[in-house]
Structure 1
Amino acid sequence: MRAETRVCPAVLVVEDEPLIRMEAIDMMEEAGFRVFDAGSADEAVALMERHEEIGILFTDVDMPGAMNGLGLAAHVRDHWPQVFIVIASGVINIDTTALPEGCSVYPKPYPTNQILAELKRVACVGE
Structure 2
Amino acid sequence: MSNPHPLPHADRTPRTILVVEDEILIRMLISDELRDAGFEVIEAASADDALGVLASGHPIDLVFTDVRMPGSIDGAELASRIKKNHAEMQVILTSGHLPAHEALSIAPFIAKPYSIAKAIALIDATLGSISDLGLSA
Shorter-chain TM-score bucket reads 0.7 to 0.9
Amino acid at match of 1:76: I
Show structure 1 runs of 4+ deviating over 4 A.
Answer: none
SS class of match (1:67): coil
Give the fraction of aligned pairs with identical amino acids, expressed as a percent: 31
Q: Is the 8 A contact 2:63 2:92 kept in 1?
A: yes
Amino acid at match of 1:67: I
Q: Which has the higher strand share?
A: 1
CA distance in structure 1 between the partners assigned to 2:113 and 2:38 by the alignment? 21
Q: Is the 8 A contact 1:16 1:39 kept in 2?
A: yes
Q: Which runs of 5+ in 2 are unaligned?
A: 1-9, 131-137
CA distance in structure 1 between the partners assigned to 2:66 and 2:104 by the alignment? 14
Aligned length: 121
Q: Name the structure 1 match of 2:127.
A: 123
Q: Name the structure 2 match of 1:56.
A: 62
Seen in structure 2, the aligned counterparts of structure 1 residues 37 and 94 have a Cα distance that, compared at 3 Å, is: same
Cα shift readout 1:64-107 (whole Å, capped 9, x = no counterpart): 1110110111111111111111111111525527843xx21101
Q: Is the 8 A contact 1:8 1:124 kept in 2?
A: no
Q: Is the 8 A contact 1:11 1:34 kept in 2?
A: yes
Q: Which runs of 5+ in 1 are unaligned?
A: none
Q: TM-score, normalised by structure 1?
A: 0.83
Higher relative contact order (CA 8 A, sep 6+): 1
CA distance in structure 2 between the partners assigned to 1:106 and 1:84 by the alignment? 14
Q: Name the structure 1 match of 2:91.
A: 85
Amino acid at match of 1:111: S
Matching of residues 1-127 of structure 1 within 5 Å: 5-94=11-100, 96=102, 99-100=105-106, 103-123=107-127
